[in-house]
Structure 1
Amino acid sequence: MAKKHLKVRAEAKRLKAEMGKVREDQLYLRVEQTKLITRFVETERQYNELQQEAELIAKQSAMTGIKLSLMLGILKAREGGDLVQAADLTRFLGEIVSLEKAKAILADAQG
């Protein structure tokens, strides 16, 4: 009977050690999971930031293209002697530039 009791005690001790190892592994996994979640959240934040920057660059590029087209139109109108069209295009270009400056001032005031 004592031999059986020793086997049971040894088995209990082994199981207790395994349970301790399982707890350590679970703790390690929780820590690693928290690190991964933190990295994922940071990566997602950076992605959103880059996406906003890309959209801003695309808008700026489109606006630059419009302004260049207007400038080319002004030059062609002047070369062709159409001063009325050149004045209209110049006025429109000036309105666009003024609008951009107003938006920039508003953005600076808000941010």
Structure 2
Amino acid sequence: MRKRFKKLRVDMKEMSKEQHSGKQMQRQVEARLRTVQEECDRLRDETDQIIRQSADTQARLALMFDILKARERGDFNKAAQLTRLLR
């Protein structure tokens, strides 16, 4: 009976250690997930910023093209108006 109790105590200590180890691993995984989520959010923000900048650049290029076309046609009033818009 004493041997059984000793064995049970040893088994309980091992289970406790394993449980502690499992909780520790869970904390590490949660920390990694938070890090990955933060990186994801940062990359999403950077991507949104690049998209906005690209749209701004497209709009400016379109204005410049319209300015060139207006100058070719000799419509300098329209070219001046578009140039003010560009600024």
TM-score (ref. length: structure 2): 0.98
The size of the alignment, in residue pairs, is 87
Superposition deviation, residue 69 in structure 1: 0.1
* Larger Rg belongs to: 1
Runs of 4+ deviating beyond 3 Å: none
Ranges in structure 2 where 5+ consecutive residues have no aligned partner: none
* Paired position in structure 2 for 1:75: 68
| Cα separation, 2, equivalents of 1:66 and 1:47 | 29
* Paired position in structure 1 for 2:4: 11
User: Superposition RMSD on alpha carbons, in Å?
Assistant: 0.5
Q: Deviations over 1:6-57 (max 9, x none)?
A: xx11110111111011011011111101101110111111111001000000
* Paired position in structure 2 for 1:20: 13
Superposition deviation, residue 68 in structure 1: 0.2
Ranges in structure 1 where 5+ consecutive residues have no aligned partner: 1-7, 95-111
* Paired position in structure 1 for 2:32: 39
| Cα separation, 2, equivalents of 1:51 and 1:29 | 33
